A and B are shown apart, each in its own frame.
Chain A
Amino acid sequence: MNWLDLLAWNPPGWGRNLFFGAISTLEISFCAYALGLLIGLLGARGKLNGGKLTKRLLEWYTTIVRSVPELLLIVILFYTGTQGLNELLVKLGIGPIRINGFIAAVAVLGVVQGAYSTEVLRGAIKAIPVGQIEAAKAYGMSPFLLFRRITLPSMLPYAIPGLSNLWLNATKDSALISVVGYLELTKITQQAAGYTKWYITFYCAAALIYLIISLASLQGFGMLDRYVRRGQPKVR
C-alpha cells in the first residue's frame, strides 16, 4: 500500500472519512462562530450601555475566558457543563439526557468565541464617531433601525479584521474538541493514523486540509473587507 491508496476515496482508503471529518470541523466552527457572534453582539451592547451589574458580569466573563487556556476551558465546560445540566434536569424531575456531542462542542466553543468577539465588537462600535449615532437618534430612528442603518455598516470596517482572526481561531480551536472525543477532522486523522500506522501521511493530509480552509477563509474575508470598505479612502 502506498500513500495514495491510503488517501483514496473508498475504503480501504480514508479519503471519505477525512472529507467528512473536514465537513464536521467546518460545521462545528461555523455554528460556534455564529453563536460567538450572537453572544458578542449582546455582550458588546451590554458592556457599552448596560447597567453597572451587567458591565461587571460581562467584564468577569470576558476576562476569565480570555485568560484561561482554551484546551482547559473546553475540557472544563464539556465535562462540568454536561454533568451540571444533567444534575439540574434530575432535580427538576426530568431525568438525565444524553447530550448530543455536536451541541456540546458548539456550545463550548461558542462560549469561548463569544468572549473574544465581545471585545472585538465593543472596540469596533466604540470607534464610530458619537456624532453619527446622536444624529441618527435625533432623526428619531428606533434602536433597531439605528443599529441596522448606522451602527452595523460603520462598525464593520473596524470589526472585520478582528472577526477574520476569530474565524481562523475557531477553525483551529475546533481541533481541540477532538480531545473530548468528538469525531472531527483531527480525531478522524488520529484514528486513521493509529489504525494504519502511517502517521506522517495522515497528519500531513490533515494539516493540508486545515491550511486550505484557512487560506480560502482569508480570501473570503479579504473580499468581505473590500466590500465593507467600499467608498472609504484607501489607506496607503
Chain B
Amino acid sequence: MDFTILIKFVPLIVTGLWYTILLLVLSVFFGMILAIPIGLVQVTGPKPLAWLAVGFCTVIRGTPLLVQLYLLYYGLGSLFPQIPWIRHSFLWPVLREGFFYATLAFTLSFAGYEGAVMKGAFASVPKGELEAARAFGMSPFTVLRRIWFPRAFRIVLPTLGGETILQLKATPIAAMVTVVEL
C-alpha cells in the first residue's frame, strides 16, 4: 500500500474535517433545542402533543437515517423547485445544497433520539423539588428554567456525550447526498 498518495489530498481532507465538524455542531445544537420540548411534552404536556412527540420519536428511531436522508433530499428536494416563490427566494442557494438536507435530517434524527432521553431525564427529577419550587410561588416557566431543566440537563449530560459520538459516527452518511465531508 502506498500512503504517500494521501499527501496530495491533505487540503481536501481538511475541508472535509471542517464540514464534518460543522455538520456535527449544527445538528447537535438544533437537535438539542428541539429535543427539550419533545421530552417535556411527553412528561407534562397535553395528551395529543405527547402522542405526537412519542410518535415522532418512534418514527425517527425505527427507521434508518439513510432512508430519512433520502426522503428529505430526494423527496423535499424534488418538491421545492416546483414551487416558484421558493425558487426565487433568497433561501434558494441554501435549499439547493445537499448540506442543508443533511443538516436537517441529522438534526431531526438527533432530536428524535435525544427527545426520548430528555423524557427520561425530566421524569427522573425528584417530585419533591418541583413541589418545593411551586410552593415558593414560582410560575411554571420559572420552575422549568430554574429547577427542572438544570436538574434534567445534569442527569442527561453523560448520555449526551455518548449520543454526540454516535452522531459523529453517523456523519459519513451525508456523503450520500453530495456533501464533501471527511
Residues of A within 8 A of B (CB): 67-72, 168, 171-176, 178-179, 186, 189-190, 193, 197, 199-200, 203-204, 206-207, 210-211, 213-215
From known contacts A71-B172, A71-B173, A186-B66, infer whether A203 and B71 are also in contact, taking CB-CB under 8 Å: yes
Once the chains bind, are B78 and A207 in contact (CB under 8 Å)? no
Residue of A nearest to B176 (CB): A179
Could you jot down 14 A-B contacts, CB within 8 Å?
A: A69-B170, A69-B171, A71-B175, A175-B67, A186-B70, A189-B70, A199-B71, A199-B74, A199-B77, A200-B76, A200-B78, A207-B68, A210-B64, A211-B59
Residues on B with beta carbons closer than 8 Å to the beta carbon of A69: 168-172
Interface centre among A171, A173, A174, A175 (most CB of B within 10 A): A175
Tell me the complex Cα distance, A82–B106, Å: 31
Residue of B nearest to A176 (CB): B66
Q: Is the interface of B mostly helix, strand, loop or mixed?
A: helix
Once the chains bind, are B63 and A211 in contact (CB under 8 Å)? yes
Asked if B65 is at the interface of the complex by the 8 Å CB criterion, the answer is yes
Tell me the complex Cα distance, A215–B77, Å: 29
Tell me the complex Cα distance, A69–B176, Å: 14
- In chain B, residues 54-73, which have Cβ atoms closer than 8 Å to a Cβ of chain A? 58-59, 61-68, 70-71
From known contacts A69-B171, A172-B65, A197-B78, infer whether A203 and B70 are also in contact, taking CB-CB under 8 Å: yes
Asked if B75 is at the interface of the complex by the 8 Å CB criterion, the answer is yes
The size bracket of the interface on B is 20 to 34
Tell me the complex Cα distance, A169–B70, Å: 18
Residues of B within 8 A of A (CB): 58-59, 61-68, 70-71, 74-79, 168-173, 175-176
Residues on A with beta carbons closer than 8 Å to the beta carbon of B171: 69
Once the chains bind, are B66 and A214 in contact (CB under 8 Å)? no
Residues on B with beta carbons closer than 8 Å to the beta carbon of A70: 169
Tell me the complex Cα distance, A105–B68, Å: 22
Min distance, Cβ A164 to any Cβ of chain B, angstroms: 13
Tell me the complex Cα distance, A168–B76, Å: 27
Residues on B with beta carbons closer than 8 Å to the beta carbon of A68: 169
Interface centre among A67, A68, A211 (most CB of B within 10 A): A211
Min distance, Cβ B73 to any Cβ of chain A, angstroms: 9
